Amino acid sequence: MNRLKNNENCRLLLKILIIFAISRLIMLIMVPVYNGIMGTHRSFLFLMNEWDAKKYAYIINHGYTHPTDIDPQANWAFFPLYVIVCAALKAVTGGLINTYVIGMIVSNICIIIAAFFAVKGLKKQTSIKEEYTMIMPVLLFMAPYTFYCSSVYTEAMFIMFIVLFFYFLFEKKYMAAGIMAACSSGTRIVGCILVFALVVQLYIDMEGTKISFGRVKTFVMDMLKAPKKILSVLVCPLGAFAYMAFLNFFCGDAWAYKNVQIAWREDEYFPIIGVLWKACTGQIEPRYTYMGWFCIAILILYGYMFYRKYYSMAVFGIISLLVPLTSHVMSTCRFTAGTYVAFVGVYDILTRCNKAVRYIIMAVLIAIEIYLLFLWYNSDCWLM
């Protein structure tokens, strides 16, 4: 027992589990609060698993929609790794546990792992003080839009793989980082973008932060002489490629995950600039105006991260936000929370505030999350 008490990893995990338990207790308390206000009698499982959660539960139970099915919203847009893990756990438990419970178990385990390695990674990267250690777990468990990480959504698993990617990347274990990127790309297509973060960090590790034609040329030549590093880059999109190969076999269209999304979004705007202009100027629904300005704020945050020299994280964050902005601002709040790196930017800001300001900001963030959780229980369209 004393050995466990003296083990730094055990102490860290215990602290994280305490914060996790508090965050999930808040979610449970909000169930009777919601039912009392709305006059309903809905269960925690029902309230936590809305919209895409039902799609994932269907895939876990029945697999992907057959090409001959007449459903226009075929579930091919949902990448398979999360589903595979959930289906495997359900098989191991003999199918005795509710599918939503299985999915929530997987999601919660993933976000705990993410919090653990996020703290360990930040300790090495920033040499943080002990008083700042638990800021990141609080953000991952209780910051706005993190309730998705308790639902049957891919956010928690995606965050876990991103955290592990950067953990290995800053340890200069490039192949391990590439494998984590491959897993993330098998969870969501945006995981492929981690290849850019890998290349940026490889350049920094090999040539420094300054950019010139000569340095870029030297970097390319050095990379060509390092097959393991090249392989680590090539591995990054492997998860997405594997799913595309499956789709090509299953329904004859490797791009079906992309093509089927027209069933959800029919609006057409000029990519990025046009999308943000329409949203921010109120030319579409009010919820999208909010999301448009949210995206602007996040882009400013990523600019701050560049200033603070989180180069590879900022590159990943910017590109991962610009991808959905090529079509719409819909769901960009969830997508941003699900890419993790924005939390690093917020974390950096919080560590530079005095204690009183830091606690006030964190309290406000938690209050916003509780309000958003209520909206989530109410299936509010502002969360779509």
- Whether 298 and 321 have beta carbons less than 8 Å apart is answered as yes
pTM for the model = 0.95
CA–CA distance, 368 with 366 (Å, rounded to integer): 5
Which residue, chain included where needed, has tokens 């002489």?
Answer: 225
- Looking at residue 209, the DSSP 8-state letter turns out to be S
| Tokens 């229980």, located at residue | 377
Residue 295 exposed, middle or buried by CB count within 10 Å (0-12, 13-18, 19+)? buried
- What is the full DSSP assignment across 119-182? HHHHHHHH---GGGTTHHHHHHHHSTTGGGGGSSSSHHHHHHHHHHHHHHHHTT-HHHHHHHHH
Q: Fill in the amino acid letter for 300.
A: I
- CA dist 269 to 180, 218, 258, 259, 326, Å? 34, 41, 17, 17, 8
Output the tens digit of pLDDT for each of the chain's 384 residues.
556 566 888 999 999 999 999 999 999 999 999 999 999 999 999 999 999 999 999 999 999 988 877 665 678 999 999 999 999 999 999 999 999 999 999 999 999 999 999 999 998 877 667 778 899 999 999 999 999 999 999 999 999 999 999 999 999 999 999 999 999 999 999 999 999 999 999 999 999 989 889 999 999 999 999 999 999 999 999 999 999 999 999 999 999 988 887 766 666 788 899 999 999 999 999 999 999 999 999 999 999 999 999 999 999 999 999 999 999 999 999 999 999 999 999 999 999 999 999 999 999 999 999 999 999 999 999 998
Tokens in use for 50? 């809305």
Which DSSP helix (H) or strand (E) runs through 276?
helix 273-280
